[in-house]
Amino acid sequence: MRLEAILILGGAILNGANLMNARLERSNFTEAELIGANLQGTIMAVTKLTRPNMSRANLSFARLSRADLSQANLREANLTEADLVDAYLARTNLIDANLSQANSIRAEISSANLMHTNLSEAVIPDGTVND
């Protein structure tokens, strides 16, 4: 699926949607519901994802550089090898999420809940690799 237009989907209900490899950069998903959605390989750079519910979503290999994910619910989400460079993740729920091998260099993660989050081999904001 190739979606290349700038989309405004604030409040949209897209639970379980298959958006694998979609191009959604510069879109707005404020308060959208994407529970269990397949966003693997999706390009969402510079996208506004403020307060969405993305629990159990597959965001592996997603490109989320400079995306605003503030207050997002990413509980149990798969962000394996996701590009989170310069992303804004303040007050984000990442409980039980998988961020293994994710790159979050220069990302803002203040007050994010990282309880039980898998950070193996992830590049954390200061540039170090977590063992």
Cβ–Cβ contacts within 10 Å for residue 4, how many? 10
Contacts from 57-62 at CB under 8 Å and sequence distance 24+?
Answer: none
CB atoms within 10 A of CB 33: 19
pLDDT at 4 over 80: no
* Structural domains of the chain ordered from first start: 1-125 (2.160.20.80)
- When the pLDDT of each residue in the chain is averaged and rounded to a whole number, the result is 92
**Chain centroid offset of residue 44 CA:** 8
Tally of CB atoms within 10 A around 85 = 19
7 or 105: which leads in pLDDT: 105
**Amino acid identity of 111?**
S
This prediction has a pTM of 0.90
55: nearest Cα among 43, 39, 72, 68: 72
Q: Rounded mean pLDDT of 103-121?
A: 94
- The predicted-structure confidence for 17-51, as pLDDT tens digits, reads as follows 999 999 999 999 999 999 999 999 999 999 999 99
Structure token pair of residue 75: 């509980």
Q: Is the pLDDT of residue 1 over 60?
A: no
Residue 13 binned pLDDT confidence (cut-offs 50, 70, 90): very high
Whose tokens are 């989309």? That residue is 7
